[in-house]
C-alpha cells in the first residue's frame, strides 16, 4: 500500500450513496459545531464548518445515486478518507466509497474502499 496508508491525508473525500443534501448536512452538523452555507449553484454547494474547514458537496456525481463530500483540509477529525467513510456509513446508514490509495504515482485510480453498515470495508474496482 502507498505512503498515504500511514500518514494523514491532506484532504478527505467520500462518496455517499442515496442520501440527499439535507441528510448529509444533518450528518455534518452532528460532526462539527456549526456548518454554514457559503455558496450554492445547481448541484454544487460550498460550506464552512465552525472550525474553518471548507466542505464542498457535489450532488449526483458518478451516476445519480452518489454525492461527493470533500473536506479541503488536513485538520479534519479523520486521518484518512477511510476513517471518515466508516463513521459516515454508520451514522448515515448507507454505503460510502472512498479512494483506496490516494493520488500518488503508482496508486490504482480505480481501486476504492466500499464501506457498508453491515460488514467490514472491502476493496473494489470502481470505474466511473
Question: pTM of the prediction?
Answer: 0.89
Q: Could you tell me the strand order of the sheet in which 96-99 lies?
A: 35-41, 44-49, 54-61, 66-71, 12-17, 96-99, 111-116, 119-125
- Report the share of the chain in percent with pLDDT over 90: 72
A 10 A CB-CB count for 118 gives: 7
Using DSSP bridges, classify how beta strands 111-116 and 119-125 pair: parallel, antiparallel or unpaired.
antiparallel
55-84: pLDDT as tens digits: 999 999 977 899 999 999 999 999 999 999
Asked if 95 contacts 115 with a C-beta cutoff of 8 angstroms, the reply is yes
pLDDT digits (tens, 9 = 90+) for 29-63: 999 989 999 999 999 999 999 999 999 999 999 77
Task: Kindly list the structural domains of the chain, giving each domain's residue range(s) and its CATH number in brackets, ordered by start.
Answer: 8-125 (3.30.310)
Question: What is the three-class DSSP state of 88?
Answer: helix
Cβ burial of 106 (10 Å; 0-12, 13-18, 19+) is exposed
Amino acid at each position: 500500500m502507498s505512503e498515504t496508508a500511514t500518514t494523514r491525508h491532506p484532504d478527505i473525500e467520500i462518496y455517499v450513496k442515496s442520501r440527499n443534501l439535507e441528510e448529509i448536512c444533518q450528518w455534518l452538523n452532528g460532526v462539527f459545531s456549526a456548518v454554514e452555507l457559503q455558496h450554492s449553484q445547481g448541484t454544487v454547494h460550498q460550506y464552512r464548518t465552525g472550525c474553518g474547514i471548507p466542505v464542498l458537496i457535489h450532488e449526483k456525481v458518478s451516476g445519480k445515486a452518489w454525492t461527493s463530500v470533500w473536506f479541503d483540509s488536513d485538520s479534519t477529525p479523520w486521518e484518512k478518507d477511510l476513517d471518515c467513510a466508516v463513521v459516515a456509513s454508520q451514522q448515515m446508514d448507507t454505503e460510502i466509497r472512498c479512494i483506496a490509495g490516494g493520488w500518488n504515482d503508482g496508486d490504482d485510480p480505480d481501486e476504492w474502499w466500499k464501506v457498508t453498515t453491515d460488514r467490514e470495508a472491502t476493496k473494489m474496482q470502481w470505474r466511473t
